């Protein structure tokens, strides 16, 4: 019986929400939407020096993001010498591969990149819940059936986490922020060996 209780307790602890695990306290939701401002200016060309590490392979290149119009972004990755590796369009919930190098044309990989990059360019998300801890606010939302948590420190978006059953799956880190641009962006996968590092060059 005691064992049963203990295992029940463990189970309950295992079910703790992402917010609870990180000691955030739930609050009434007053905010209408979560705003990600980092790729929101149609007049800007966002150009990053990128490094994509996938298991033992590592690709360098230029990561280019352009907002074409509201809810429509283009993301292109080229080598330093200019050869295109992939070219994607995000239009509302739609995803289109305009070009991908044969060697990278793998459905699993494209699915992962689609999910990651969609989060980068989405600007306006509906708040499901809000919690706070000191000067930090954590907003919960859903993007194409996945749970995401947006962490704002003193009003600045520093981190987005995709979590499943309270466990982190993918973490997006934004740093060196000025003028609504994150000069450094990191995308870290927790269950596969994939890391994307972006450093702004313009």
Radius of gyration of the chain (CA): 18
Asked if 185 contacts 172 with a C-beta cutoff of 8 angstroms, the reply is: yes
CA distance 133 to 36: 20
CA distance 149 to 130: 9
Binding site for other proteins (CB under 8 A): 43-45, 47, 49, 51, 58, 60, 62, 64, 66, 68, 74, 76, 78, 80-84, 87, 98-99, 199, 201-202
Altogether, the residues listed in the chain come to a count of: 202
Q: Which is nearer to other proteins, 23 or 43 (CB)?
A: 43
Q: Which is nearer to other proteins, 13 or 42 (CB)?
A: 42
Q: Which is nearer to other proteins, 14 or 60 (CB)?
A: 60
Asked if 182 contacts 176 with a C-beta cutoff of 8 angstroms, the reply is: yes
- Long-range (24+ apart) CB contacts under 8 A made by 111-117 are 112/189, 112/192, 112/194, 113/86, 113/88, 114/88, 115/144, 115/146, 115/162, 115/170, 116/170, 116/172, 116/187, 116/196, 117/75, 117/88, 117/90
Q: Which two tokens stand for residue 53?
A: 């590490």
Query: Least distance (Å) from other proteins to the CB of residue 121?
Result: 14
Q: Which is nearer to other proteins, 127 or 180 (CB)?
A: 180
Query: Least distance (Å) from other proteins to the CB of residue 175?
Result: 18
Query: Least distance (Å) from other proteins to the CB of residue 62?
Result: 7
Q: Which is nearer to other proteins, 66 or 169 (CB)?
A: 66
Residue with the two structure tokens 């309950």: 12
Query: Least distance (Å) from other proteins to the CB of residue 47?
Result: 6
Q: Which is nearer to other proteins, 56 or 134 (CB)?
A: 56
Query: Least distance (Å) from other proteins to the CB of residue 182?
Result: 17
Query: Least distance (Å) from other proteins to the CB of residue 84?
Result: 6
Asked if 141 contacts 18 with a C-beta cutoff of 8 angstroms, the reply is: no
């Amino acid at each position: 019986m005691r064992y049963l209780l203990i295992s029940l307790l463990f189970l309950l602890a295992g079910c703790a929400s992402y917010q609870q695990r990180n000691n955030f306290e739930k609050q009434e939701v007053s905010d209408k939407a979560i705003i990600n401002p980092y790729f929101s200016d149609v007049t800007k060309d966002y150009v990053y020096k990128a490094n994509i590490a996938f298991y033992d392979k590592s690709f360098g290149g230029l990561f280019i993001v352009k907002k074409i119009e509201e809810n429509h972004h283009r993301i292109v990755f080229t080598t330093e010498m200019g050869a295109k590796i992939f070219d994607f369009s995000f239009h509302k919930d739609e995803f289109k591969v305009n070009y991908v190098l044969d060697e990278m044309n793998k459905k699993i990989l494209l699915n992962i990149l689609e999910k990651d990059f969609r989060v980068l360019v989405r600007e306006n998300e509906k708040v499901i819940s809000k919690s706070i801890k000191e000067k930090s606010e954590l907003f919960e939302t859903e993007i194409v059936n996945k749970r995401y948590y947006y962490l704002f420190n003193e009003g600045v978006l520093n981190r987005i986490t995709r979590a499943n059953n309270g466990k982190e799956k993918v973490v997006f880190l934004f740093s060196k922020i000025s003028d609504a641009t994150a000069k450094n962006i990191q995308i870290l996968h927790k269950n596969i060996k994939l890391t994307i590092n972006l450093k702004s060059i313009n």
